Amino acid sequence: MPPRLAVVLVWVTVALDVSASEGQTIGPSESVAGAGRPRELSAPPSSDPQDCHERTSAWLDSPLLKESPLEEFGQDIARWKTKLPLSFTVGAYHWWHVDNGGPLASGYGVPGVPGTHSYYLFVDGQWPIESAKTTKTGIHLQMRLRDSGVPLRPFFTDDHFWFWEAYGFLDTPLGRLKIGSIYKQFGLFWDDSWWGNVQYFDGLKLDSDYGLSLEHTPDFEDGFKVDRYLQLYLAEDRVNGSIAGADPESFAGSEERNTFIGRLVPTWTLGEEATFALGVSGLVGGVANRPTLQLLATDQVFPSPGDQTIAGWAVDATWTNGRWKLFGEVSQLFGVLTPSHYISGGPSDRYTDGLAGITHTQGPITYRCVYSHGIAANPHGRQGMLVPGITVQITSNLTLWIEYTHWESQSGSPAQTVTLENGYHLIVDWHF
């Protein structure tokens, strides 16, 4: 049994026992062909669907087909789900790619990762506890499934099924304590795109590992609040969206251990509709390496850089005003993450990333443009990615994503420019 599944099953059992003892139950809401070319270019990510849908619904006036049988059907399912002891969300990402002169052919999915991007299932539950210090316990599972027999990333341990997150939690006076496989909170959580950003493909966003997270996200008081995150990760789970060679997840014999992350986000209200948030994050941890490292799912073997200490910082800012949002982030990591980074082709020891974006919502449509950039040093390589797009909320249970991605990298001496992606994406996301 996978460790994270065992942890969650134990948590569920304990939580159900606690709930039963109190008589209360709540029904909760891809070989380097040359320097700079990635070893594999798999399907892009999807941000946490549940989190994304919750935030998107707050931006929109109403779905495009608000008065329709399909919308009524979705509402009927939502009402039925309130009667269940656990909250379930099931859905899928159907993805079509149209090449615009890049290396990836047009089709349903992309070469190397054909077919439906993924099916997903969320399971959430929470139960009250009659205690002076602990008020609630619960679980959160985010499961993904592919039916093509090809894994989303070649280093995944299972070709078909994986968890993005799987944890139990306790609500305490200091905040929510999560235990299990949990997303890291280093810098901005996500940029609201579907394809993603440089940071995601470097393994810095939507990256879950095994550990503990204490999170306090209070309400505003007198126009001010401070969100706080303290996280300790003891072992990696071999699951994230990074390109093979970006971080230790994709190398046999390399493992991230004992990583500490701290994040503070003071936020101010500016009038009736505007807010400004300034986030500061810090990271320190280790990478334990064997004498030789093998790139998973290949026969490529590299000499070890030895055990490494990794340290980093990130500063981000987000300004919202009604239907508009501006955001940006700068981060740096120090230390050798891999013996052969997919952009530089070697054991780079400093990584500097930046990201900036803007979104605007009008009715059921959200317009969006995000640019991200990354620089690896010693040896040197750089990459830049532009992702404009729109999201259309057809109904509360059907979302249409249309995006364009232009992604290039440069490395070597003299510098060689490689196009990693130049194409359009159409994504149909249904969820009930």
Give the DSSP per-residue string, 16-30.
HHHHHHHT-------
Closest CA to 285 of 255, 314, 256, 315: 256
Which helix (DSSP H) or strand (DSSP E) does residue 297 occupy? none
Quote the CA–CA distance of 121 and 162 in Å, as a whole number.
11
Q: What is the separation of C-alpha 35 from the centre of its chain, rounded to a whole number of angstroms? A: 27
User: Does domain 3-431 bear CATH number 3.40.1500.10?
Assistant: no
DSSP reduced 3-state for 378: coil
Q: Taking the model in full, what pTM does it have?
A: 0.86
CA distances from 61 to 33, 105, 361 (A): 48, 37, 9
| Local confidence pLDDT in tens for the 432 residues of the chain | 444 444 444 443 333 333 333 332 222 222 222 233 344 444 344 444 334 433 333 445 588 988 899 999 999 999 999 999 999 999 999 999 999 999 999 999 988 888 999 999 999 999 998 776 778 999 999 999 999 888 999 888 887 899 999 999 999 999 999 999 999 999 999 999 999 999 999 999 999 999 999 999 999 999 999 999 999 999 999 999 999 899 999 999 999 999 999 999 999 999 889 999 999 999 999 999 999 999 998 999 999 999 999 999 999 999 999 999 999 999 999 999 999 999 999 999 999 999 999 999 999 999 999 999 999 999 999 999 999 999 999 999 999 999 999 999 999 888 899 999 999 999 999 999
Hey, what amino acid is at 239? V
Closest CA to 357 of 164, 186, 195: 195
Per-residue tokens: 177: 């304590």
Torsion sign across C-alpha atoms 231, 236, 237, 242: positive
Quote the CA–CA distance of 334 and 329 in Å, as a whole number.
17
